[in-house]
Structure 1
Amino acid sequence: GTTVVVDVIRGTPEFPNNTIEDFVVARADGSAVFLLANVVDDLDMGITHVIRGEEHLPNTPKQQLLWAALGAAPPVWAHVPVIVNEKRQKLSKRRDKVALESYRAEGYLPAAMRNYLMLLGWAPPGDEEIVPFSTIEASFRLEDVKPSPAFFDEKKLRAFNGEYIRALSVDEFTAACEPWLAPATEAPSEQAAQGQGQGGDDWGVPAAPWPAERFSPEVFAALAPLAQTRLSVLSEIVPMVDFAFLPEAPIDEASWAKAMKGPARELLAEVAEAYTHVDWDEDSLREALVKIGEGHGLKLGKAQAPVRVAVTGRSVGLPLFESLTVLGREATLTRLRRAVARLDAAHSTA
């Protein structure tokens, strides 16, 4: 005859009984093997639905025969699709990044991860994919799960996470960032550990690179709204704000080499002179740099580059003039003058 498996996701696959071997249910010492132990355990626990990966489908006709032999109706079967990587290989803990702890240490929010995982093989009704879990709970049906393999797309997960980060209030965002802001001698607050599912050295989060005494919650609070719209994962907060808490700009040499060309030395010297007297607000700082840039035939975007690298150490980061106002006049001027001195030293050596 034929054993028919009624599967919520895969329909009614049929297995001719003459293709099923006379399978073992007990070892020589009398102990039960998995197939029998699993069925008896499910019967004992009153299991009504068995939801598992599709790789277990070949076991199902054997287990269904055992359910029948024990005088019981089989459970509802649902074999969900496997999750594959970008090479369309089944995800493997030996080869792929599959541990939730590693994603947590990078700064993925639990709600974003949960939302994304729910979309592997299923989708909520409508066009929206980023939806509250209450919506997922209300609309999820096993019957709607697709049988084809689901691609775990980390780029899409990062995009999801960025949306969830931007949806946080500023206070929630600040608390969520705390594990990445703590120097080696400090631990994140209980609010960070519990409020956003973040917390501490057990996650493998590296210590912040600045000394504890240089970190200022007030300064970070001023930078947080600027950073929140630019993050995909929370760990990216460190290179965005470290310039404000390190004694000197953390110079990225590739950015330096790219920005410090042409009239960079003269422009930085003129900016340092202008910023000595200008009102310390965003508009005044911008207007001064625009004027100096025009004097060198540069539009603002080009004129900003050497100033940004001299002050923040990188060619990409938070809005420049807002960052300068937070950093302050003294620190900004010191870094501009150090950049000029470095360019002079390089020129004299050459």
Structure 2
Amino acid sequence: MTVKTRFAPSPTGYLHVGGARTALYSWLFAKKNGGEFVLRIEDTDLERSTQEAVDAILEGMSWMGMEWDEGPYYQTKRFDRYNEMVDQLLADDKAYKCYASKELLDEIRAEQEAAKEMPRYDAEHPKIKAVNEAAKDGDPCVIRFRNPKGGSVVFEDQIRGRIEIGNEQLDDLIIRRTDGSPTYNFCVVVDDWDMGITHVVRGEDHINNTPRQINIYEALGAPVPTFAHCAMILGDDGAKLSKRHGAVSVMQYRDQGYLPNALNNYLVRLGWSHGDQEIFSQQEMIELFSLDAISKSASAFNTDKLLWLNNHYIKTSDPAYVAEHLQWHLDDQGINTDNGPAIEAVISLVGERCNTLVELAQQSRYFYEDFSEFDAAAAKKHLRGVAKGPLELALAKVEALSDWSTDAIKQQVIAAVCEELEIGMGKIGMPLRVAVTGGGQSPSVDAVMELIGKERCVQRMKLALEFIAQREANA
């Protein structure tokens, strides 16, 4: 048997974190077992489904690196198939027409609640029977699935173990509306059968749907997939994850500067574990993942931990991979890297200091763009009269330097100035940093200067000396 999983979002909004984790688990399980992963867009909610949401889902899946083997399939393009199966159930007397109006059903529900009974549809209710018996062909009706009356539905959930639901708790589900459109629970069953889905990984909010769907699989003579229902994700305050906890859309995490590998690593650990291991490459996730290692308990989203992971991935990933995802942020911040060092070299130097790609882009700017002003606080502290002599000597040594390398800058400029003027490293290092970067924070200034380039360093050091001279004149 070829393992086949699916991710089947409704396009009524963005790809949220919970859906992304479900997709990841489904994708990993398929890959672990040499199987296939199907993407299906469940767009039968015609009023709420949008093309914008479809695009957001596809973009989110692609950004996370979860490429699908089949699809995307769209339920709205399969109505003929669903109606064919509805007609088959009608012919087999496993479904029937119901003419009861919404108003009548609401009236019966109110009576049941008043009598402290569980509100449910009952085809044998006298009022419903009377309406159905009086109906004529052509009157508006829904099609209901004839749910078994006795016994129970039992299934072995791969996460939660044995689940049993009595059929008396399940009513006769509507499988086709009065407008002729099929309903979610029915479409899902036909799709899973037609697409050969063997394992359904989804959120625990679908547990109540599962016994209803199992009865429909069996009525159609379709194989019943194996189910695994994941617990929900909570905010760090224990409440259901929502916008007030920060980003909940996958693409918001892209916008905030997270790497896909960092988010995937974080999401896989939100409910699944392999010992105490925290860092997983994609290949390790595939090799180690199993459904029975997923926790039954809800997981709490911790942004601080995600930031820590993101910093780890920025520091340790191939700079070419980081550069691929950094480019979006460079473009977003209007930073043109054509005139300057290779962005991979900047990432290797600056990346360790950054938790997000937004920060990394910001801290890359001075490698590519000249500036006419210095950070006010840094200039006030370090571009003072006392720095004039060390900076002038450093400028002379920079202009005379033929070997433009980190080591040469360190020894023949910075160390040489300290030795000749008998000053500490900070007396030249900090003024030099502010001069060449415009601010007071950067990696090792000799390595920064090598990447910025000799011509730009000379130009900026002269600008700093002009600033000091102007400051002294104003004083």
TM-score normalised over the length of structure 1? 0.72
Counterpart in the other structure of 1:112: 262
Aligned ranges 1:87-98 → 2 under 5 Å = 87-92=237-242, 96-98=246-248
Task: Decide whether the 8 Å contact of 1:165 with 1:228 is kept in 2.
Answer: yes
Q: Corresponding residue for 2:397?
A: 278
Q: Give the AA of the match of 2:299.
A: A
Determine the C-alpha separation between the residues in 2 that align with 1:84 and 1:294.
59
C-alpha distance in 2 between matches for 1:165 and 1:147: 32
How far 1:340 sits from its partner (Å)?
0.9
Query: Structure 1's 10 and 255: CA in aligned 2 closer, same or farther, altered over 3 A?
Result: farther
- CA shift, 1:133, in A, is 2.0
Per-residue deviation, 1:294: 7.2
Distance (Å, rounded) in 1 between the aligned partners of 2:333 and 2:366 = 17
Is 2:406 the counterpart of 1:287?
A: no
Larger radius of gyration: 2
Per the alignment, in what secondary structure is the counterpart of residue 441 of structure 2? coil
Instruction: Encode CA deviations 1:36-88: one digit per residue, 9 max, x unaligned.
Output: 33223333433322211111112222223333444556321111122333334
Q: Indicate the SS of the match to 1:64.
A: helix
- Would the aligned equivalents of 2:388 and 2:468 in 1 still touch at CA under 8 Å? yes
What amino acid is aligned across from residue 49 of structure 1 in structure 2? H
Could you say if the C-alpha distance between residues 302 and 98 of structure 1 is closer, same or farther in structure 2, counting changes exceeding 3 Å?
farther
Instruction: Determine the C-alpha separation between the residues in 1 that align with 2:346 and 2:446.
Output: 12
Change (3 A) 1:43 1:178: closer
User: Alignment partner of 2:384: what SS?
Assistant: helix
Long gaps (5+) in structure 1: 183-204
SS of residue in 2 equivalent to 1:148: coil
Counterpart in the other structure of 1:322: 447
How many aligned positions are there?
Answer: 313
Query: Aligned equivalents of 1:340 and 1:131: distance in 2?
Result: 51
| Structure 1 CA distance for aligned equivalents of residues 435 and 168 of structure 2 | 77
Q: Deviations over 1:289-311 (max 9, x none)?
A: 6569976xxx6457644443343
3-state DSSP class of the match of 2:363?
Answer: helix
Q: Which residue of 2 aligns with 1:267?
A: 386
Classify the secondary structure of the residue corresponding to 1:87. coil
Q: Secondary structure at the match of 2:350?
A: helix
Deviation readout 1:134-193 (Å, 9 max, x if unpaired)? 2222221111111222333333333333333333445555565445556xxxxxxxxxxx
Q: 2:279 aligned with 1:130, yes or no?
A: yes
Q: Hey, what's the Cα distance between the residues in 1 that align with 2:188 and 2:205?
A: 16
Give 1:256 shift.
Answer: 4.2
Partner of 1:153: 302
| Conserved 8 A contact 1:54-1:79 | yes
Q: Give identity over the alignment, percent.
A: 31
**Which of 445, 452, 459 in structure 2 is aligned with 1:331?**
459
Contact 2:390 2:427 in 1 (8 A): no
Maintained 8 Å contact 1:289/1:304: no
Amino acid at match of 1:273: E
Counterpart residue number, 2:58: none
What's 1:309 paired with?
434
Query: What is the TM-score of this pair, normalised by structure 2?
Result: 0.56
Distance in 2 separating the partners of 1:134 and 1:222: 26
Code of the aligned partner of 1:138: E
Contact 1:49–1:77 (8 Å) recurs in 2: yes
Deviation at 1:225, TM superposition (A): 3.3
Unmatched segments (≥5 aa) in structure 2: 1-150, 402-408
The aligned amino acid for 1:151 is: A
In the aligned structure 2, how far is the partner of 1:67 from the partner of 1:142? 23
| CA–CA distance in structure 1, aligned partners of residues 248 and 365 of structure 2 | 30
Instruction: Say which SS state the counterpart of residue 13 (structure 1) adopts.
Output: strand
Q: Tell me, in whole angstroms, the C-alpha distance in 2 between the residues paired with 1:206 and 1:241.
A: 11
Q: What's the CA shift string for 1:224-243, capped at 9, x where partnerless?
A: 53224333333433332322
